[in-house]
Amino acid sequence: MTILEVTDIARHFRVSGGVVRAVDGVSFQLARGETLALVGESGCGKSTTARLALRLIEPSAGSLRFDGVDMTQAGTKAMRAMRRRAQIVFQDPYASLNPRHTIAETLEEPLLVHGIGDAASRRARVEELLSLVGLAPFHAARFPHEFSGGQRQRIGIARALSAGPDVVVCDEPVSALDVSIQAQVVNLLKDLQSRFGLAYLFIAHDLAVVRHMADRVAVMYLGRIVEQADKRSLFANPRHPYTRALLAAIPRPDPAGRGRLSPPPGDPPSPINPPPGCPFHPRCGFAVARCAVDVPPLREIAPGHVAACHLAEALPALPPSMDDRPSPVAMRRIALAAARMAARV
Amino acid sequence: MSLLQVENLRTVFDTRQGAVVAVDGVDLSLAAGRTLAVVGESGCGKSALALSLMRLLAHPGRVAGGRVLLEDEDLLALSPAKMRARRGSRVAMVFQEPMTSLNPVHTVGAQIMEAMRAHDRSLSKSDLRDAAISALARVRIPSPERRFDDHPHRLSGGMRQRVMIAMALACQPRLLIADEPTTALDVTVQAQILDLLRDIQAETGMGLLLITHDLGVVAETADEVAVMYAGRVVERASATDLFADPQHPYTIGLLGSIPRMDLETPRLPTIEGSVPPPFAWPPGCRFAPRCAFADAACEVAPPPLAMLAPGHEVACIYAPVDA
């Protein structure tokens, strides 16, 4: 069942020298309990899309429905009701917590804003939230500077959960964290999702993390979705050359695959002056004359799989992917360490 | 013969509470034309290590002991003037953040010429200009004559990092130290920069010391790897051996916790807890409190690196952990 529906949403920013079409006609639906990942490189408009989906910034065009209600024109009261049910976790756990507030104050604030509970029940809720994200009750009286990056991100997640949301936008929630901490936070987000039936709009640039978190994936380039599909078909059978370029550029942790990265040439073009036709055509290895003229529409290639490429059906089969698993010895030792750790706890 | 030989390097930060150790007795070696990756998480001391090699540590940090031999010359024993002459011409460095490392009010051409003039005052202005343009061309910046007159803000992140590399290479150093050179970049641009570094290395035979947290980047570029944890090297091996046969429980934990494209597990294996800050390092093995295999014997003293196989050293009394 759809909880969040974004239709043809756009956001243009006027800058000296023209108009930046940061988001240019993006549509998607998010169902209860699922994770939709928005992926793409810096400047593709994924964070702006996330903010539009929460109406933290106003759209230039398009519409936004939350739980069946049109929020595009909603007044303050309706917006406030939506905000209780749609929250956000930010990328930078250092910048997104108020350094002068204790953790208890930070976690209590959403409850105060929405008039939930009395002082005693709010205190109990703060304790509950801390234990949900793996922190201890005594942490409530501390300040953000007393925590590591991973712990701060846990606090940011607890704050997002405070008022009991249905939808959580996660804007690069693990990209500022070290790998070992990243894995802890990814596991935590998955646990919380299955426990509370949360829907995640998961913004990320790391496709391996996305593969681990998402049910469906939308790939953005220059303000538009260029491909969207369920995770399995997107990774196994990508139909847009840009998706393929992203996949081919990830360095795999296996020295045997060395030298097989094949990045597209050049940088993403300026969103002030996007190229005519398909915005990816100047960097695309498959482009034909038509690509420089006609803008390819987003069209259905297979059920539930859309791509904006004239040649989507004609792209050659994907070369066999590099095997991305730890070596057999490493796998055995990883399993052994996990079993030992589990036995100890 | 090795290009770079680091012996028992110790770096400390003087604080009001006393000296805090950041790098605690590190040994490394790197041959010409090869790439050594130093990998570890925030706070493991890898950046302090890089700055110590360059002698660029700012107060209150200082190198408290050890030797840094570059082509058999101990950099730590040089006078400041001599060290200044070595930087750029013998050893150069590229930093993570290309925007804050470039001067925003000078053109990129002027900044590259400045680096070249510092080492050779005899060059004429037009020689310098030609050399700077060919330096930009060498890092594959399109239309380098035009880019020469651009200010840094006109360039994308990837182009800025190329400019930083052009500056570092301007005087043909024998050793390039790159501290997270692609961490701030998008994956497609990262792949371009890694390609570029590899090509330049093949052309010039320079040694590359790459500081990174990304095991994908390590696998893509490194010949040799040193894994650091809490100021010490805990495992040293060729890249092939490290990934095929990881032996230190920390290395195993790191390899387990990266999400993989081809491996879907409901939960990622994790290393519980977090890296302790230097003032809270345990007396024994510093990884022991987070280690699945640790027992009382691990709490006595930090285990030294021991050679378990040719070219493969591990600092763990229970390695390899197979039982």
Assembly ipTM: 0.87
Alpha-carbon distance B314 to B287, whole Å? 13
Question: Is the Cβ of A238 closer than 8 Å to some Cβ of chain B?
Answer: no
Q: pLDDT digits over A69-127, tens only? A: 999 988 888 899 899 999 999 988 888 999 999 999 999 999 999 999 999 999 999 99
Question: Is the Cβ of A300 closer than 8 Å to some Cβ of chain B?
Answer: no
**Quick one: pLDDT at residue A321?**
64
Alpha-carbon distance A241 to A318, whole Å? 10
For residue A182, tell me if it sits in a domain. Answer: yes
The CATH code of the domain that includes A132 is 3.40.50.300
Q: A59: pLDDT confidence band, cut at 50, 70 and 90? A: very high
Q: pLDDT digits over A220-273, tens only? A: 999 999 999 999 999 999 999 999 999 888 888 888 878 778 888 887 787 788
Question: Is the Cβ of A304 closer than 8 Å to some Cβ of chain B?
Answer: no
Question: Is the Cβ of B256 closer than 8 Å to some Cβ of chain A?
Answer: yes
Does the domain formed by B2-229 have CATH 3.40.309.10?
Answer: no
The verdict on a CB contact (< 8 Å) between A334 and B321 is no
Residues of chain B found within 8 Å of residue A337, distances taken between Cβ atoms: 249, 252-253, 256, 269, 292-293, 321
**Quick one: pLDDT at residue A274?**
87
Alpha-carbon distance A201 to A324, whole Å? 26
**With pLDDT > 90 as the criterion, what percentage of chain A qualifies?**
74
Q: Which ranges of chain B have pLDDT less than 70?
A: 1, 323
Residue A345: pLDDT above 80? no
For A254, which residue in chain B has the nearest alpha carbon?
B219
For residue A279, tell me if it sits in a domain. Answer: no
Q: Which of A178, A190, A193 to mutate to test the interface with B (most CBs of B within 10 A)?
A: A178
If you write DSSP's letter for every residue of B244-271 in order, what string do you get?
Answer: HS--SHHHHHHHHHS-BTTB--SS----
Out of B158, B159, B255, closest to residue A253 by CB: B255
The verdict on a CB contact (< 8 Å) between B220 and A251 is yes
**Quick one: pLDDT at residue A320?**
67
Q: Which positions 65-104 of B are in contact with A (Cβ < 8 Å)? A: none
**Quick one: pLDDT at residue A322?**
62
Give the DSSP letter of residue A277.
S
The verdict on a CB contact (< 8 Å) between B268 and A325 is no
The mean of the pLDDT values for chain A is 92
The verdict on a CB contact (< 8 Å) between B257 and A183 is yes
For residue A144, tell me if it sits in a domain. Answer: yes
For B225, which residue in chain A has the nearest alpha carbon?
A255
For residue A285, tell me if it sits in a domain. Answer: no
- Residue A4 sits at φ, ψ, to 5 deg, of -130, 130
For residue A230, tell me if it sits in a domain. Answer: no
Decide if B276 contacts A180 (C-beta within 8 A): no
Distances in Å between the alpha carbon of B154 and those of A14, A269, A274, B55, B184? 19, 13, 17, 32, 17
Domain limits at A70? Answer: 2-214
Please tell me the total count of domains within chain A: 1
The verdict on a CB contact (< 8 Å) between A330 and B244 is yes
For A263, which residue in chain B has the nearest alpha carbon?
B188
Residues of chain B found within 8 Å of residue A211, distances taken between Cβ atoms: 259, 261, 264
Alpha-carbon distance B91 to B88, whole Å? 5
**Quick one: pLDDT at residue A100?**
95
CA distance A182 to chain B (A): 8
Q: Which positions 195-224 of B are in contact with A (Cβ < 8 Å)? A: 195, 198, 213-222
Is-cis flag, bond preceding B320, omega within 30? yes
Instruction: State the first-to-last Cα distance of chain A, in angstroms, to the nearest integer.
Output: 38
**Quick one: pLDDT at residue A180?**
85
For A270, which residue in chain B has the nearest alpha carbon?
B156
CA distance B24 to chain A (A): 21
The mean of the pLDDT values for chain B is 92
